[in-house]
Amino acid sequence: MAQSGSQEGPLLSGVALRYASALFELAREANAVDTVAGDLARFDQLIRGSGDLQRLISNPIFTAEEQSNAIGAILDKAGISGLAGNFIRLVASKRRLFALPDMIRAFQNLVSDAKGIVRAQVTLAEAPSDTVLNEIKAALRDVAKADVAVDVKIDPSLIGGLIVKMGSRMVDASVRTKLNSIRLAMKEVR
């Protein structure tokens, strides 16, 4: 969550974690953790899929009222209500939409921790088939000896292969890295 080399990173993480923790406690008291997590995941997908929505939440030129009205319309159209809808509306009214993606990630991490689920980030050159994704999940589950929630990222610059980050461990089995290693080895041979 924290952005390395940025003074804003730790501050942003603190804000995101405080909001996410408060929402998690409310959701747990209401026995609605899974519902809230699902609604937040849907909204996160809306953010990722829309450049306009990304600009709305990150651009300070919009007033709190403009952001709140736009977010309200989006939530209504997406059918996101209840705790998650109220939470997102509150975040908009407090001019904290810029931190919403980090809040959603922090909430997902709290849910995973509560359920004993290990989170892993898998970066691939292209979107995996369901079969490949299931094989990756099975392999990670074997390594972690626990259920694993996989966040998939696509980075065509990898050329092929994958990069897996799970906890403090990282495995880079990308074609790009292997080519760079070969290139470096060839330079040393000269």
- Give the model confidence (pLDDT) of 87-144 as tens digits: 999 999 999 999 999 999 999 989 999 999 998 999 999 999 999 999 999 999 999 9
Residue 173 has pLDDT above 50, yes or no: yes
Q: Give the chain's mean pLDDT.
A: 90
Residue positions counted in the chain: 190
Total-model pTM: 0.72
Residue 158 has pLDDT above 90, yes or no: yes
- Give the model confidence (pLDDT) of 1-30 as tens digits: 333 333 345 555 789 999 999 999 999 999
- Give the model confidence (pLDDT) of 54-74 as tens digits: 999 999 899 999 999 999 999
Angular region, 79: left φ>0, alpha ψ -120 to 50, beta rest: left
pLDDT for 129: 95
Helix ranges, the chain (H): 8-29, 33-49, 51-58, 64-78, 82-93, 100-115, 130-144, 175-189
